[in-house]
Chains A and B, each alone.
Chain A
């Protein structure tokens, strides 16, 4: 089956620093990758859609300069949380789709970010 990995699984950083999270599709080429944010006991909120070789499309209310997304290849997308603050602490999950009309999104295991 399709496998998506994320790295790191957990990160703790100081306020004001930047954190990069990687999302990789291990056994398929992902034409589209998605980044979600999940607060405790809540559902997933889509932050942005990332297409290989083009700029990401951000959802309303998501600061593109705060959450930098790069989709450099068909198997790798990165999310960089710039100048992180405690309110950015959350569970970040990526997903990848292989394309097609019935595209199924395959999810990574998530990254727990804690900003002190």
Chain B
């Protein structure tokens, strides 16, 4: 079975600072990995995904993530935080050919301060 661990349920950064949200995965086979963002009382929006192509994946809103097999990580970064980035971020894993079921991490609440 696959799983993801998001270290840090809350992360706070200053506006303009680097954003780093951590995600480590566990999977018996090379996984597909996703980052989603959720704003209050809304559904999830896909930020980016890794599906065994380039290990550095660029997504929307200036976010990117790098798949590191040796570290079993898929951390999400953004060079400069904006106030509008404040939201809940979820890392998710899917086993290719595994019925397309996503397994979500527990989420990280990002706070951006002036």
- Using a CB–CB distance below 8 Å, which chain A residues touch chain B? 4, 6, 32, 34, 42-44, 46, 49, 91, 93, 95, 97, 101-110, 112
User: How many of chain B's residues touch chain A, expressed as a range?
Assistant: 20 to 34
A49–B90 CA distance with the chains assembled, in angstroms: 20
List of B residues within 8 angstroms of A101 by Cβ = 96-97
Chain B interface SS verdict (over half): loop
List of B residues within 8 angstroms of A93 by Cβ = 43-44
Chain A interface SS verdict (over half): strand
Q: List 28 A-B contacts (CB under 8 A).
A: A4-B43, A34-B102, A42-B106, A43-B90, A43-B104, A43-B105, A43-B106, A44-B44, A44-B90, A46-B102, A46-B103, A49-B99, A49-B100, A91-B41, A93-B43, A93-B44, A95-B44, A95-B102, A97-B100, A102-B49, A102-B51, A103-B100, A104-B46, A105-B100, A107-B36, A107-B45, A107-B46, A110-B41
Among A42, A102, A103, A107, point to the contact of B43 (Cβ < 8 A).
A107
Q: Would B101 and A49 count as touching, CB distance under 8 A?
A: yes
List of A residues within 8 angstroms of B41 by Cβ = 91, 110, 112
Q: Would B106 and A107 count as touching, CB distance under 8 A?
A: no
